[in-house]
Amino acid sequence: MKHKISSEIDIQAPVEVVWNILMQIDKYKSWNPFIISSKGIPKIGEKLKNRIQPPGGKAMTFKPVVTKLNKNQVFEWKGELLVPGVFTGYHRFELSQQGNVTHLVHSESFSGLLVRFMKKSLDNGTADGFKAMNEALKVRAEAKN
């Protein structure tokens, strides 16, 4: 089964400002209410160590691999639960500049056997976590602008 969640936001800051905040993953813990800690190097093929906590949910740690990195445009990683085919997610940040505004599309595409059982949690807690992160990113980027 496949499933996707997505959240969008406009940020009153140049795309470079927003990108730089996203790339400083070691600082997520100081501002990010969803990805409460992250370690590693945002570079294709590199493994990160992320700890997420959806609103009202339990925190969990996973070790995704960076799959796409196009400066000021796309940052994506792939995370898997246990073994391939059980639960896989491609977490993606897409940025585009429209004048002095950065448009962020924050999404994740899920596949695997467990997706059907986790759909409600993904549509509620995880999607709410995306929105909370987007809002916090907006506040941080606009303060730096």
| Range(s) of the domain holding residue 108 | 2-144
Exposed e or buried b per residue across 93-113, where buried means at least 16 C-beta atoms within 10 angstroms of its C-beta: bbbeeeeeebebebbbbbbbe
pLDDT in tens, 108-141: 999 998 888 888 888 888 999 999 999 999 999 9
| CATH number of the domain that residue 107 is part of | 3.30.530.20
The structural domain count of the chain equals 1
| Average pLDDT, integer, range 56-76 | 95
Lowest model confidence (mean pLDDT) among 6-15, 39-48, 121-130? 121-130
Instruction: Give the pLDDT score at 122.
Output: 83
The answer, yes or no, to whether residue 2 has pLDDT greater than 80, is: yes
Instruction: Give the pLDDT score at 65.
Output: 98
Quote the CA–CA distance of 90 and 108 in Å, as a whole number: 5
SS3 (DSSP) at 8: strand
